[in-house]
Each structure stands twice: as structure tokens, then as C-alpha cells.
């Protein structure tokens, strides 16, 4: 999972990927969230509690927008990390190469709009994810994985565009046995509300439930709104947010431009209205059962557990990824 959490949250910033053939073998980018994001409060009578405007950063030919965490809002439900990656256009021979790296205490969720990524992990799983599929990897007590553009995709020009997120595990499941599940697009519920088409990626919403197994109540949806369409957000979850990936919408009269994450006010039931063909992500769920610490790729309710994970990675005590001998060193 591509990541560069902020030191502001007791984290270390780290980023590793390859977007071009040798000699550009890798690129490490360090950013502070305060310089990377913009956030604003909304009037108390609005359906929106807070908006976050992510500034896109070009990491050597690959753009990523960070939405969570950020100074004014660390989580929405169990979602503790949210990135909009791309769209990126790669010439022949280029792509991403995220070398093997560890995770604990979370589930990573990859969902693509375009392109493909080959996932490999320390369980021995090798899985290519394509648009509309879901890769759900539960790290639990510890897992290592890599993400690369498949060799066949590098033979010609390619594109990559999608969302990556982390879901923090409940305290009583932080140390579960790691697992990986791939869900093809064909098994995810496809819903319609008027002219709006919704894919239920995970969790429960709009009177439907995704087959993706989760450890806490949540929802994660991909909504396509044609110009002039409306979508009432009657979603019965404690914390909710709307992210405008493209197009433009109004949320009870408040205009939201592309790249905006809007945190909904408690108990509000606003309506989305599209004034252009729009692509919107809906997410949230039950609030986390206590504070979480993030350091590099580790999430835990315990700082000492993170220290132990750091020592384990430093001492090569995590399982390795079969067929992928590279690794990202522990940030020092």
C-alpha cells in the first residue's frame, strides 16, 4: 500500500515507488500533511461538518492526493487513510514498483478505476487487480506485500487510476491472523437510485450488503451520477463522508469541486445533486473504539506494539514475499 503518513500524527513520512525504467529505480518523497491538504469548517446549520481539499502532488510522474489523515480529521468511521491515486499515464516499460513492506493492525483496500496492479504478499498470494475489483488484505498481527505494474502491462503504454485506503481494525481484532481476499467486480452489488448507479464496495448501505468481509460496521461505495441526477444520502452509519473524484456536485446547496472530501454532519440526511457527470465515493462507518497510532505502515492502539513491529522489520523477522526479494528499509 502506497503510504506517507504525517509526523504530526506520531508517524514517519515514507514513500517508495518506481514510475520509470532504470536508472530511475525508486523515488522517496517526504511531505507534511499541513502543506499537502486544505481543510475548512462549514456553517453549523449545514449538512457538512468539514471539507478537506487535497492538493495533488506529482511524485515523479505519478500523482497522488491524500485525504486522510489530516490535522483536523484523522478518521471517518474506521477509515484511517484515504488516497486518490492518479490518473497516471505511463510510457512503455514504466509503471509502479512498490517494494515489499510490512503492515500491522489494519486492512488495506485497493479499488481501481483504470489500469491494473499485481499484488504479492507473504501468504504466497499473487493477484492482479483490475478496475472494479476489490483487493482486501487484513494485516492483523503482521503481513508483508508488494504492488507492481504487471510485466505484460509494461509492454505498452498504460494508465493507472483508483483509490487506496486503510481500515483500522477493532482493538479485539488487531492481532488476527493475516488474510487476503480478492473480490471480482462481478460479485459486488450494483444498485440504482433514479439515474444514479452505485457499486457497493464493502459494508452495508442503501439496503444492500457487500460480500467483502469486514471486522466493523462500515460502508464504501462508488457512485456514478449523470448530470442533473440526485442521490439522497440516507445512510444509517455513525460517521459519513463524500469524496468527489471527478465532476461537480452540490450537497444541500454547498458546491463540492473535484478533489474535495466532505465530512457529513451528525444525523444529517442531505441530497447530492450533480451539475456535471460526476464520480463520487461514499464512505464511513462506526467510530473507532479508541485512539490509533500510525507510524509508517503500522497502525495500532498501542505505541509499544508499533515499537515491536519496527524492531521486527529491522531484524528481518516478518515473513518474506515469495518471488520478490526486494524490500523497503525501515525509515530511520
pLDDT, tens digit, 9 for 90 and up, residues 229-274? 999 999 999 999 999 999 999 998 899 999 999 999 998 999 999 9
Whether residue 1 lies inside any domain: the answer is no
Whether residue 14 lies inside any domain: the answer is yes
**Residue 316 confidence class, pLDDT cut points 50, 70, 90:** very high
Whether residue 28 lies inside any domain: the answer is yes
Cβ neighbors of 164 (< 8 A, separation 6 or more) are: 1, 2, 81, 82, 83, 85, 108, 109, 110, 111
> Considering its fold, how many domains does the chain have in total?
1
Dist CA 95 CA 150 (whole Å): 8
Whether residue 319 lies inside any domain: the answer is no
Q: The domain that contains 234 carries what CATH number? A: 2.60.120.10
Distances, alpha carbon 296 to alpha carbons 3, 66, 111, 121, in Å: 7, 15, 21, 18
The whole-model pTM stands at 0.88
Amino acid at each position: 500500500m502506497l503510504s506517507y503518513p504525517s509526523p504530526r500524527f506520531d508517524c514517519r513520512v515514507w514513500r517508495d515507488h518506481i514510475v520509470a525504467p532504470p536508472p530511475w529505480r525508486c523515488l522517496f518523497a517526504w511531505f507534511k500533511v499541513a502543506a499537502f491538504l486544505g481543510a475548512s469548517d462549514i456553517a453549523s446549520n449545514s449538512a457538512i461538518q468539514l471539507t478537506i481539499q487535497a492538493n495533488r502532488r506529482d511524485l515523479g510522474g505519478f500523482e497522488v492526493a491524500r485525504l486522510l489523515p489530516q490535522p483536523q480529521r484523522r478518521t471517518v468511521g474506521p477509515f484511517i487513510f484515504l488516497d486518490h491515486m492518479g490518473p497516471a499515464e505511463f510510457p512503455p516499460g514504466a509503471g509502479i514498483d512498490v517494494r515489499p513492506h510490512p503492515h500491522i493492525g489494519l486492512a488495506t483496500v485497493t479499488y481501481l478505476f483504470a489500469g491494473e496492479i499485481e499484488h504479492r504478499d507473504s501468504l504466497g498470494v499473487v493477484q492482479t487487480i483490475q478496475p472494479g475489483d476489490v483487493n482486501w488484505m487484513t494485516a492483523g498481527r503482521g503481513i508483508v506485500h508488494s504492488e507492481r505494474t504487471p510485466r505484460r502491462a509494461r509492454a505498452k503504454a498504460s494508465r493507472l487510476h483508483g483509490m487506496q485506503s486503510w481500515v483500522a481494525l477493532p482493538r479485539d481484532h488487531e492481532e488476527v491472523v493475516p488474510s487476503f481476499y480478492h473480490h471480482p467486480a462481478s460479485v459486488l452489488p450494483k444498485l440504482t437510485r433514479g439515474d444514479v448507479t452505485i457499486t457497493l464496495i464493502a459494508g452495508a448501505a442503501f439496503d444492500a450488503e457487500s460480500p467483502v468481509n469486514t471486522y466493523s460496521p462500515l460502508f464504501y461505495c462508488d457512485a456514478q451520477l449523470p448530470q442533473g441526477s440526485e442521490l439522497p444520502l440516507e445512510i444509517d452509519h455513525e460517521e459519513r463522508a463524500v469524496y468527489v473524484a471527478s465532476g461537480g456536485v452540490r450537497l444541500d446547496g454547498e458546491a463540492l469541486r473535484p478533489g474535495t472530501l466532505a465530512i457529513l454532519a451528525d444525523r444529517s440526511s442531505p441530497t447530492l445533486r450533480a451539475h456535471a457527470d460526476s464520480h463520487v465515493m461514499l464512505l464511513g462507518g462506526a467510530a473507532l473504539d479508541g485512539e490509533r497510532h500510525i507510524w509508517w505502515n503500522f497502525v495500532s492502539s498501542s505505541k509499544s506494539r508499533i515499537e515491536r513491529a519496527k524492531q521486527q522489520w529491522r531484524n528481518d523477522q516478518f515473513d518474506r514475499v515469495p518471488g520478490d526479494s526486494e524490500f523497503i528499509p525501515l525509515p530511520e
